[in-house]
A and B are shown apart, each in its own frame.
Chain A
């Protein structure tokens, strides 16, 4: 068992304990320094836990989106480390529920891409569940090719659009 996995197990245990106590939904607990080695920056202007800004600041914006090869949905090692960073955050804030949005590039048919986006979102979800994040906290939604972030019709743009983006529900 790796060090990070140990941390995650601890975090998951804490998460379960927190769930059992049923704290108020609207008031996530303050960051617990023992749960993660990555100290969360706090300040007067910083949004609190449970917001997208807080999530992106804590895990790094690049770690909130994983990318896929054409027609593929497997989680490679780079995706894995991003999802581990996400898992640490969600273990630290057990009251924060979130959505994984699955997307595809424009070079696919519309209906297949909806199914493909759902498959990608679930691949990311399953990875997080394997790291101890309860499935009940994770919603998935597929937008197929309907919501591109890169608008060119190029390999580079398509690579940016084949993604699963984790979004915190406010």
Chain B
């Protein structure tokens, strides 16, 4: 009954939108609808106890991550070989998360014995201490009668023989990787003191074909590159996506009607609408942290300004005016300020204004062009593209303390990890190939690495921790 009611509500809500859209033309580049996300239910409270014995560099912290145990090897839709094999896969994902991000010194399940189910809550400390591990991450996976999967994750200090943290989750079989990411997040947070970031997704543009005839498709993937999906077919160029904070929508630029315009794609319904009903080109969509507003930039007679519109539609408010290209915009985490770029001074520079458009003032005076500013989710830094040298850099919100993080031939469009410790960006190669690829670097400028994507890739947009 609830399902029927929900369907009826969607039909009612969709009717006026259908009347607005120009027939089916706005949807003709969209692929199949995505399956609905299931909820991840936390079943065990985070048990925090004891202090961490390790006092050296976290990069030297040895962590053993053996295969997760299972109470009985049961069939599960999550793995054709059953829950025992799934336990190995979960440990591999946890291991991959930590290793690929240069965190700690992890050892994975393929190099370790599997503990018995009964050992998970009472580890054999001597075994792991003798293997040189400072920390032990072990867990269990159980097929539930409900069809769900229960995953437990435990972190132990093998020097002090104490449990440092534990958590458990119930997930649908299709979302077992989320439990693994949550386990990696628990370990990372407990040991580093930082906020989690693994259980999140990235929207980006997949690029294939030669430089002058490149196909650009909207795509999404988990933070580790898994669960890759295309949203658009590639018939029209798609650019600059942004996830809504609740992951229910994607705003992005599409040429589907021949003109560059921002659309808001509803992942649940598979429908999309224009961000504003206007014949003018629109660019650079950005969500407010609470998801209530979308910023977009619109060119009127060639002059681009920044506008704000309620995410549910309605009247747009123009935030900038005057000659010059004002474009982009990134909210401070408290939603009170917006950093944006403008060439009103003669070259691209970064400016900060209040969320209502008042008190616009330039913050970048470091030399070079300042472009694509993105406010850190922690609020303490702004990442930007130095559009003269094409390095990704960070600065304080007042424009001071500029630090260059990357040195590619052309790096641009930084996006923050949910915890504000890692930045992704895209790098273009010089010359006729002109390949684009996704990269990430941590805030110290270390651990730079290329992300594995199925094709060329640009415009990464890292969403927050999944709800």
* A contact residues vs B (CB 8 Å cutoff): 71, 73, 106-112, 114-116, 118-119, 121-123, 125-126, 140-144, 146-149, 151-153
Contacts and interface: CB of A to CB of B under 8 A. Distances in A.
B445 interface: no
Contact of A146 (B237, B348, B372, B412): B237
Given A146-B237, A151-B211, A153-B430, A111 B284 contact: yes
23 contacts: A106-B410, A109-B371, A109-B412, A110-B239, A110-B240, A110-B412, A111-B283, A111-B328, A112-B343, A112-B371, A115-B304, A118-B302, A118-B304, A119-B325, A121-B302, A122-B299, A126-B302, A140-B302, A143-B260, A146-B214, A148-B212, A151-B432, A152-B432
Given A111-B297, A153-B434, 7 more contacts: A73-B302, A107-B390, A112-B325, A115-B299, A116-B325, A142-B299, A147-B212
Interface string B209-247: 011101010000000000000000000010110000000
Given A141-B259, A146-B216, A112 B341 contact: yes
Contacts of B240: 110-111
Q: Which 10 pairs show the lowest CB-CB distances between chains A and B?
A: A122-B302, A115-B304, A109-B371, A118-B299, A151-B432, A115-B325, A153-B430, A119-B302, A111-B284, A151-B211
Contacts of A121: 302
Nearest to B388: A107
Nearest to B259: A141
Interface string B381-396: 0000101001000000
B206 to A, nearest CB: 14
A32 B96 CA distance: 73
Nearest to A73: B302
Given A109-B413, A118-B299, A146-B237, A141 B347 contact: no
B428 A106 contact: yes
A151 B409 CA distance: 16
Most chain A beta-carbon contacts within 10 A, residue among B260, B327, B385, B387: B260
Given A106-B428, A148-B211, A118 B372 contact: no
B127 interface: no
Contact of A71 (B239, B281, B347, B434): B347
A118 B281 contact: yes
Interface residues of B, number: 44
Nearest to A116: B325
Contacts of B260: 114, 141-144
A106 B210 CA distance: 14
B428 to A, nearest CB: 7
B1 interface: no
B258 interface: yes
Contacts of B302: 73, 118-119, 121-123, 125-126, 140
Nearest to B253: A114
A126 B240 CA distance: 29
Nearest to B325: A115
Interface of A is mostly: mixed
B239 A122 contact: no
Given A114-B260, A146-B239, A122 B432 contact: no
A140 B301 CA distance: 9
A103 B302 CA distance: 13
A151 B328 CA distance: 27
A106 B232 CA distance: 24
A126 B431 CA distance: 34
Contacts of B432: 151-153
Contacts of B341: 112
A111 B430 contact: no
A109 B258 contact: no
B223 to A, nearest CB: 23
Contacts of A144: 260
B401 interface: no
B385 A109 contact: yes
B459 interface: yes
Contact of A152 (B214, B281, B385, B431): B431
Contacts of B444: none
B345 to A, nearest CB: 12
B21 interface: no
B29 to A, nearest CB: 15
Most chain A beta-carbon contacts within 10 A, residue among B211, B216, B303: B211
A121 B212 CA distance: 20
B125 to A, nearest CB: 53
A93 to B, nearest CB: 22
A109 B430 contact: no
A110 B239 CA distance: 9
A125 B459 CA distance: 30
Contact of B212 (A118, A119, A151, A153): A151
Contacts of B412: 109-110
Given A111-B283, A146-B216, A119 B299 contact: yes
Given A109-B372, A112-B348, A149-B212, A122 B301 contact: yes
